[in-house]
Amino acid sequence: MRVIVPCVFAALFASASVAVAAGPEPKSEEQKTFYAIGVLLSGNLSTFNLSKSDLEMVKAGLSDGVLNQKPKVDVNAYRPKIQELQKTRMASVMQRQKQAGAAYAEKTAGQKGASRTASGMVYVPLKPGSGASPAATDQVKVHYKGTLIDGKVFDSSIERGEPVTFGLNQVIRCWTEGLQLMKVGGKSRLVCPSDIAYGDTGRPPVIPPGATLVFEVDLLDIVKP
């Protein structure tokens, strides 16, 4: 398990955390820049699933570090404990995500027109297409929106205003399987369990470990070589 708090990162995050602890509203462009650094770097702690009290301890350690105060613990002795804590917290998050994802998939599978495949994917046609269906080795052009089961958008070609083209053998298994069930011009919802998405590790901080993902996909075209 990779430890995500090397010295340079710790010092940088410490600077941001000291500022955030005082609760100022960023006003100048420089203040907003430092605030943005803090928000971005906080994502690297997402795998620890920190509670408010956990965060207070992290802030205390970061504050002592950046102000060159004597550490209250032997930091080197705690490096293995950091790794173990990260591993334990990630496992806890993964378990909750899988349970919630299974319940969501079960509910979606009960919707009119929905079907569940052998892989566990739930396929919900939203608009029928009239063109051809792609093969697993085809290149396709699509518009899509990807969300977590709570509706939070983590990726969207629609928001970017530009469709994407890729090979169906170059994406997660859920997409490879799901888009072969579609026809050009159609739109479908794919509910993808973690086993056929990003697995037990996820893509922190955006996609939690063990997360079930939901995609709404418009199949615009099959792109010929």
Domains, the chain, with CATH or none: 88-223 (3.10.50.40)
pLDDT (tens digit per residue) in 156-174: 999 999 999 999 999 999 9
Helix or strand run (H / E) with residue 178: helix 173-179
Q: Residue 59 has what pLDDT?
A: 81
**Whole-number pLDDT of residue 107:** 97
- What one-letter code names the amino acid at 124? V
The pLDDT value given to residue 11: 36
Report pLDDT for 1.
Answer: 35
Active site residues: 144, 154-155, 172, 198, 215
Contact 144, 218 (CB under 8 A): yes
Describe the crossing of helices 29-42 and 7-21 by its angle, rounded to 10 degrees: 120
Peptide bond into 205 cis (omega under 30): yes
User: What pLDDT, on a 0 to 100 scale, did the predictor assign at position 22?
Assistant: 52
Question: pTM for this structure?
Answer: 0.77
Which of the residues in the chain have pLDDT under 50? 1-21
Q: Tokens 């430890």 label which residue?
A: 3
